[in-house]
Chains A and B, each alone.
Chain A
Amino acid sequence: MGNRRTVRFLLNGELREVVPTSPTQSLLNYLREEERATGTKEGCAEGDCGACTVTEAELTETGEVRFRAINACIRFLPTFDGRAIWTVEGIANPDGSLHPAQQAMIDNHGSQCGFCTPGFVMSMYTMYQNGETKPSRERVLDCLSGNLCRCTGYRPIVEAAMKMGDYPEARTCGDTLAERLKAIRPEGTLEVETAAGNRYYAPATVEELAALYEANPDAVILAGGTDVGLWVTKHLMDLKTVIYIGGIQELKKIEQRDGAIEIGAAVLLNDAFPVVVEQYPEMEELWKRFSSTPIRNSGTFVGNLANGSPIGDNPPPMIAVGARVVLRKGDRRREMPLEDLYLAYRKQARDAGEFVESVRVPLRRESVKFAVYKLSKRYDQDISAVCAAFALDIENGRVKDARIAYGGMAATPKRASHAEAALNGASWDEASVQKAMSAMEQDYQPMTDMRATSEYRMTTAKNLVYRFFVETTSGQELSLYAANN
């Protein structure tokens, strides 16, 4: 019995059955070039501007429909197998009247050149579909964090989004959607092969994935594609074999057991963060500042760890709290501390054909003081110049165990072992903090690039230890993030 070859999805409510011309064709190019639906725009082709925002709907395991705003420019078409997509052309009411997201934008003068507008409308539409028809300003800022506008200065757009509920209720597409999604729910492995010999597999189970990857160790594992997508759109890489893991239900699980939260490899950033933040509320700001809403709706939590970029935001806090990754190759499973995964720049302790099945995040212990700080030029949707995480076990004013990890300071996410040593056993006071700050120079020789100079990285790496000290001892919150909500 062969695998399925066609990708099935609903586009603005209509069924599409497509044999992709290339497995790495983006949804955006498909829409614009093949559907000739040009309402969805390209502003960057790297997930950063939001002009390409569309709404994706997926059936959860329990049969509910979830709506998510995503960036069409970096998501490959076959990843929509079994899902539904709405674009700006498809959201007006059946009688032709505009959706509240659209009408509110007009009435509040939310468009000038209009090029960003379809993307904003789709982010707003997604909120509406999820029942957020009268959102708070804070929610609006979060949901629009992935949409850039160069003309308006945003004020009218934010107001439009907050006022969607003032309009007559839109006819939702929800009634029969669950049924229709059920009808196209993927069964078995999807396999796409092109004339040029490029292959794409979307296995349905972890077993199949493990076998496939072991047999094709050169394949690229594709999770949310928020890193991989850019290899294609920006670096024009020709990916020979791609194995997509985003359709595997078992990998979408979050479970609590053995003193840890286990997050599967296909769990989205936006689904994982709330659970992690429950344990580590200090991570909430990082969650909100990690990329943008649409990127977090495609990208996975584990993908960020597996990608292992030295400037990724999840490795520092996960290393600091002592997270462990579960690696799988064929039938073999093994576990290691996250920091052991990173050997050198873009080099990992994974064998050929071995993938990350999940990450195990330890539950919070009372005695641990924790913080994570992200420094970047812009608050939202920016890559860190420095990301610092501290987890200090403090008993009676003494540091029992210090775990400090930084991103942006070395070729890998890396613990500050000298700084940790300076603190271990010492009393948690300004003098020890000063020692730890000095020790930082032995831990890192950061580089200079367009995000920051080496000096800035080093100075702030030290100063953030001080910030952590002030926050933990004075109770004063120094973060400016929420200052203008």
Chain B
Amino acid sequence: MQQQHRTVGQSLKHESAHLHVSGKANYTDDIPQREGTLHAAIGISTRAHAKIKAMDLSAVKAAEGVIAVITLDDVPGDKYLGPFLHDEPIFADEEVLYYGQPVFAVAATSHDLARRAAKLAKIEYEDLPAILTAQAAAEAKAYVLPPVHIKRGNVEEKLANAKHRVTGVFDLGGQEQFYLEGQIAYALPGEDGDMHVYTSTQHPSEMQFMVAHALGQHVHTVKAECRRMGGGFGGKETQSWVFAVIAALLARKTGKPVKLRADRDDDMMITGKRHDFQILYDIAHDDDGRIQGLKIEYRLRCGFSADLSGPVGDRAIFHTDNAYYLDEFDILSIRGKTNTQSNTAFRGFGGPQGIIAIEYMIDTIARKLGKDPLDVRKINFYGKTDRNVTPYQMTVEDNVIHELVAELEETSEYRKRRQEVNEFNAKNKILKKGLALVPVKFGISFTATQFNQAGALLHVYTDGSVMINHGGTEMGQGLNTKVAQVVAEELGLSIDRVRVSATDTSKVPNTSATAASTGTDLNGKAAQDACVKVKEKLAAFAAERYGCKPEEVRFADNHVYAGNEKIAFEEFVKIAYTARVPLWSSGFYRTPKIHYDFKTLTGRPFFYFAYGASVSEVIIDTLTGESRLLRADVLHDVGSSLNPAIDIGQVEGGFIQGAGWLTTEELWWNKDGKLMTHAPSTYKIPSVSDVPAQFNTRLYANSNKEDSIYHSKAVGEPPLPLGMSVFLALRDAVAAVDDSGRAVPPLMAPATAEAILKAVEAVKAAKKAEAVEAETV
């Protein structure tokens, strides 16, 4: 039975849209400053790996406007922090571990003076050997965490006896989050050791804990608060701590409010990014391209510390299957320790890397066999009843990839366009087109089971207005809008009666990060639970007062219906208040069914899967490697959408972000380990004209089989890997340089113009070599 909803399922506007467009939405830097506020800047290291022989900060201290300068020695509490391992010194500890590491911080009377002062340090270094790449770390066996290895069957044997075997290396670049609002924190010291930190973070509880640890105080003395972020994308899950903690340390030291707003370049120099991977693969397959055995080695560049690299690496493993059944496999994941920024969460959290790895391999198989990659994909899809167990021993119960891909294949006219692309390529020597359709299956839940819990706090006021607070954070994804919709739906109220308050650790404690796409799943359910509890009390009261059964009491249209009575909600709650019925409640939720063994990497780490597929058509110039995305079609499964407009926004934004990752967004370190692409002038995220005129995004008609919030599905991360159809279409276009249809372009990611040209030249060279060989035979 399809339930009728009033607010849930509607394309309501983002709860802050009217504030966004008028400049009235306050971000952390917009909070009116308290008198006496100081401004901080961080002094960073200028070596990738070196001993600090001497550090002279006298010029910094003497600079105009400077009030305080701190180093590691000034940390009263824990000097080392980190989300899992406490392996990150707040400031360099005698040795610098990457170019950009915080070494000291300064508080001054203005932002400008603080930045100027921070440049005046005289630091003498003694260089130590630096490891800069994933490959170098793997070869040196330098790890932030031990390697993880899972296998089933005898892959070596499969490979040795295979009729077809393909091996290769795929270099996959990282990605800067590039939230438009940079990292920032504003710390206000209060009475009795209190510290109130406004922080742009996806994880207020973690900020609260870390600030408390660094100050050497109990957690209850610290309050972390975040009304909204100007984007997070994972970059503010853990790494906002650097800014929150340093602001708090300086506030403690000076007794004044301290704001730390990182300049964009400092932000990019200091914080970690999406992990870049080197992927070594070796596959056995049959004549049709069906994978028989697969061996893969992931080499991650983790940076100088563990941060979230463990779970990121795990999630890459968990997504190596993508939508495909893998019978025998051998997957090794190496978490390389490098003298670079500590790589961290970024939308997809390793999942996209795992997905593109298998897609690249399938693409390779298809090219070698001279088949359309879509056909090889289909052959490898998970079955519905058999071939449906993942490498981590979870049965895929909600598989819709066959239907979804079939639908997109048709609506995008894939086969017809394949013909047209071929015809174009036959006629054109310099320009070539490419086309690719790629599916995505994405697992939803934190892999660490304990994080899959959430709390909410619901207040009904006596005028009938409602305030909901929950542990999730709003970074643009529309979480607060969706939670407000849930509350309005549950209480039968119009959306304007419901307000979502800033996330605040003094309201809901011990919250999980707003991450892993779980924001709405967890917090929506917790909010629903709070509503249910309040309603129960109210219904019991109404039943007693109006003479009906509690289950006959209905909350709808801003009214309460009980017996023959219809009472305006605001009136009813006034009566209830007078009768001393509680008008507030907390709510709690924990995701059912999931469990997972960290040792064997098996279990049911995911509550359910979200599915999607995309088709991209591109054109390249084989003289220069330049490319354009000509058309994109996306079909994505969000279950029963809570808010289609918001979901479409997530899908489109994710697709473009994924495309950016694999095309123009190149991170480039020089030989000294200095990141040279540390601002938008050099680091190029997609701009408006990179979006094709034909960009067709639709939501797939589906409902979550699991009992998620109104049977919706999470939508934050799953669409991001859809952007890889752009990359694989580019590879398709490069392959067209060789009209035999069998070329396997060694295209690396990101597919910048340079990378594309390099692949074009490689295909040409291979063709030439073949021709020479043919002649000499």
Residues on A lying within 8 angstroms of B by beta carbon are 29, 32, 36-46, 48-49, 51, 87-89, 92, 98, 101-103, 105-107, 109, 111-118, 121, 137, 140-141, 144-145, 147-158, 234, 236, 373, 375-383, 385, 449-453, 456, 459-460, 463-464, 466-467, 470, 478, 480-481, 483-485
Contacts and interface: CB of A to CB of B under 8 A. Distances in A.
B11 to A, nearest CB: 8
7 closest A-B pairs by beta carbon, nearest first, are A39-B23, A113-B476, A115-B230, A114-B20, A112-B476, A153-B656, A88-B23
B652 A115 contact: no
A483 B619 contact: yes
A107 to B, nearest CB: 8
Contact of A114 (B430, B476, B623, B657): B476
Contact of B688 (A42, A158, A463): A158
6 contacts: A41-B27, A98-B21, A114-B21, A118-B21, A154-B691, A378-B690
Given A114-B19, A480-B626, A157 B688 contact: yes
A44 B264 contact: yes
Contacts of A109: 11, 13-14, 17, 645-646, 648-649
Contacts of A481: 628
B431 interface: yes
Contacts of A464: 623-624
A44 B680 contact: yes
A123 to B, nearest CB: 10
Interface stretch (B173-181, B316-324, B537-545): B173-181
Contacts of B115: 236
Given A106-B18, A112-B477, 5 more contacts: A43-B180, A114-B230, A116-B230, A150-B233, A478-B430
Given A114-B228, A148-B685, A153 B623 contact: no
Interface stretch (B82-90, B302-310, B328-336, B750-758): B750-758
Contacts of A158: 688, 691
Contacts of A140: 688
A43 B680 CA distance: 9
A106 B20 CA distance: 9
B687 A381 contact: yes
Given A113-B228, A114-B16, A480-B627, A145 B689 contact: yes
Given A145-B688, A150-B231, A478-B430, A98 B679 contact: no
Contacts of B646: 109
A153 B652 contact: yes
Interface in B159-202: 177-182
Interface string B746-765: 00000011100110010000
Interface string B669-702: 0100000110111101111111111010100000
A157 B757 CA distance: 33
B676 to A, nearest CB: 4
A483 B630 contact: yes
B684 A106 contact: no
A89 B22 contact: yes
Contacts of B233: 150
Contacts of B231: 113, 115, 150-151
> Which of A40, A42, A158 gathers most chain B CB within 10 Å?
A42
Interface string B473-508: 001111000000000000000000000000000000
A152 B679 CA distance: 20
A102 B17 CA distance: 9
B775 interface: no
Contacts of B30: 38
Interface in B697-738: 697
A232 to B, nearest CB: 9
Interface of B: 11, 13-14, 16-27, 29-30, 32, 112, 115-116, 119, 177-182, 228-231, 233, 263-265, 430-431, 475-478, 619-621, 623-630, 645-646, 648-649, 652-657, 664, 666, 668, 670, 676-677, 679-682, 684-693, 695, 697, 752-754, 757-758, 761
B180 A116 contact: yes
Given A105-B21, A109-B646, A112-B649, A154 B688 contact: yes
Contacts of B177: 150
Given A145-B689, A382-B684, A112 B624 contact: no
A147 B688 contact: yes
A380 B693 contact: no
B619 A383 contact: no
A460 B112 CA distance: 42
A349 B690 CA distance: 40
A44 B18 CA distance: 24
Contacts of A452: 754
B679 A117 contact: no
A86 to B, nearest CB: 11
B130 to A, nearest CB: 18
A417 to B, nearest CB: 23
Given A41-B181, A480-B621, A377 B752 contact: yes
Contact of A152 (B119, B653, B680, B757): B653
A464 B676 CA distance: 27
Contacts of A451: 682
B333 to A, nearest CB: 28
A135 to B, nearest CB: 13
Contacts of B16: 111, 114
A111 B22 CA distance: 11
Contacts of B475: 113
B693 A485 contact: yes
Contacts of B228: 113-114
A373 B626 CA distance: 11
Contacts of A38: 23, 26, 29-30
Contact of A41 (B230, B431, B619): B230
Contact of B264 (A43, A236, A385): A43
Contacts of B677: 450
Given A39-B24, A41-B181, A375-B626, A380 B688 contact: yes
> Which of A112, A450, A459, A466 gathers most chain B CB within 10 Å?
A112
Contact of A149 (B180, B621, B629, B754): B180
A154 B656 CA distance: 9
Contacts of B24: 39, 89
B436 to A, nearest CB: 17
Contacts of A157: 688
A309 to B, nearest CB: 12
B687 A145 contact: yes
A236 B21 contact: no
B21 A106 contact: yes
Contacts of B668: 450
A373 B625 CA distance: 13
Given A154-B656, A449-B676, A43 B181 contact: yes
B687 A466 contact: no
A39 B23 CA distance: 4
Given A38-B23, A43-B180, A460-B757, A105 B630 contact: no
A153 B657 contact: yes
A156 B649 CA distance: 8
Nearest to A451: B682
A41 B228 CA distance: 14
A452 B625 CA distance: 12
A112 B477 CA distance: 6
> Which of B22, B687, B689 gathers most chain A CB within 10 Å?
B689
A440 to B, nearest CB: 14
A101 to B, nearest CB: 8
A156 B13 CA distance: 13
B29 A111 contact: no
Nearest to B32: A36
A45 B233 CA distance: 21
Given A38-B30, A145-B689, A484-B693, A111 B21 contact: yes
Contacts of A107: 13
Contact of A40 (B17, B23, B680): B23
B180 A113 contact: yes
A242 to B, nearest CB: 17
B264 A456 contact: no
